[in-house]
Amino acid sequence: MNHEENIYVTKPYLPPLEEFIPHLEKVWHSGQLTNSGPFHKQFEEALADYLGVPHVSLFANATIALVTALQALRITGEVITTPYSFVATAHSLLWNGIKPVFVDIDPATLNLDPARIEAAITPQTTAILPVHCYGHPCDIDAIEKIADMYNLRVIYDAAHAFGVKCHCGSVLNHGDLSILSFHATKVFNTFEGGAIICRDLKSKERIDYLKNFGFASETSVVATGINGKMSEFNAALGLLQLKHIDAALDRRRLIDQAYRNFFADIPGIRCVSGRDELKANYAYFPILVEDGFPMRRDALHDLFRQNGIHVRRYFYPLISEFSMYRGLPSATPSLLPEAHYASSRILCLPIYPDLNEAQLSRIFQVIRQAAICLT
């Protein structure tokens, strides 16, 4: 029996309590707990400045933000997306009565493969919903070219992509809208939360109506909106998190490099990476357990768990394998070979700022144990 402390894939970073208490007291004494209070407004402005984006609309969580983004752009019909993501990506389409059309992924980045998009376009296609998987940006230029050619909208599920930069600045400035997640498991968190990044004030105003039941004023409802507002408590935490995010990203970068140095000498383990010229946020550390490694992915997963290290098979199963999606023609496994391969081999290892050298050594020891177990 292992009596050492359990290690998880991620742990939420929290600012020092003594910093948070004054903010809580301000919220408490103001009596304004939600409905775009002062912390909410400050946080939107501070986020836009930090991320280098024009406009931010805060949400209670990223799933509601995805649902609202599709509604804001009046998306209908069919939307091309990836089967290799968290299920909320496709669920947001079903919530809007939209048919998901799954397209296979690039085997190197595990993002939606632009080379396969055109073949999936039909007269009913209205948009593309790619995911910046693990914080590694999609091929945004290729996707934009296809969208322009066929007059399609592009909405990026950027749940993993907080602070990620591409060749021209923030990756969040691409597409018609980008959606962030501030869930507790993310690089940047507000306990629960999310945001829509948009290019112009008119779009932000419509999104703000939609996340507040469609109210344009106290007596005017202009759309069938939802209650998606972020509370003052979450916004206050977000403001504090911004003070610490750069240090957290620096620590994640060091852990990422330690993993890559270690795996350079381990045959059969492939580290998933984005393109070298892009600035990552080290949101996850995914590896593919391939044929050259003496233990299968699921056996390695179980070995980690036996040692108190709670790794994740993220993403497994594919979205296209769940009951509400598997009947779609685009969910046919033979059409998604790369996604199925990745899903059967993927393992996300722990990465978070508080992960220390002793814990990393425990992780490395399990890999060494597995690497020699059958040799």
Give the start-to-end residue ranges of the domains of the chain.
17-240, 245-372
Q: What is the DSSP letter of 286?
A: E
Please state at what angle helix 38-51 crosses helix 232-263, rounded to 10 degrees. 30
What is the average per-residue pLDDT within 48-63? 98
Residue 374: pLDDT above 60?
A: no
pLDDT tens-digit series, residues 135-165: 999 999 999 999 999 999 999 999 999 999 9
**Does pLDDT of 274 surpass 80?**
no
Assess if CATH 3.40.30.10 describes domain 245-372. no
CB-count exposure of residue 107 (10 Å: 0-12, 13-18, 19+): middle
Alpha-carbon distance of 186 to 282, in angstroms, equals 10
Burial of 210 by CB count in 10 Å (0-12 exposed, 13-18 middle, 19+ buried)? buried
Q: pLDDT grade, residue 247 (50/70/90)?
A: very high
- Judged against a pLDDT cut of 90, whether residue 16 lies above it is answered with no
Helix (H) or strand (E) holding 250: helix 232-263
pLDDT for 29 equals 87
pLDDT at 350 over 80: yes
Does the pLDDT of residue 263 top 90, yes or no? yes
Backbone angle region of 97, left / alpha / beta, with phi > 0 → left and psi within -120 to 50 → alpha: left
Q: Please check the confidence at residue 3 and state whether its pLDDT lies above 60.
A: no
Sign of the C-alpha dihedral computed for residues 314, 317, 323 and 326 taken in this order: positive
pLDDT of 372 strictly over 90: no
Q: Is 262's pLDDT higher than 50?
A: yes
Q: How far is CA 188 from CA 218, 288, 296, 314, 329, in A?
A: 33, 25, 32, 19, 37
Which fold is adopted by the domain 17-240?
Aspartate Aminotransferase; domain 2 (3.40.640)
Q: Which structure tokens are listed for 168? A: 């021209």
Examine the pLDDT at 375 and tell me if it is beyond 50.
no
Q: pTM for this structure?
A: 0.95
Query: What is the C-alpha to C-alpha distance for residues 154 and 198, in angstroms, rounded to an integer?
Result: 12
Render 122-184 in DSSP notation, one character per residue. -TTEEEEE-B-GGGPPP-HHHHHHHHHHHT-EEEEE-TT-TT-EETTEEGGGSSSEEEEE--T
What letter does residue 203 receive in the DSSP assignment?
H
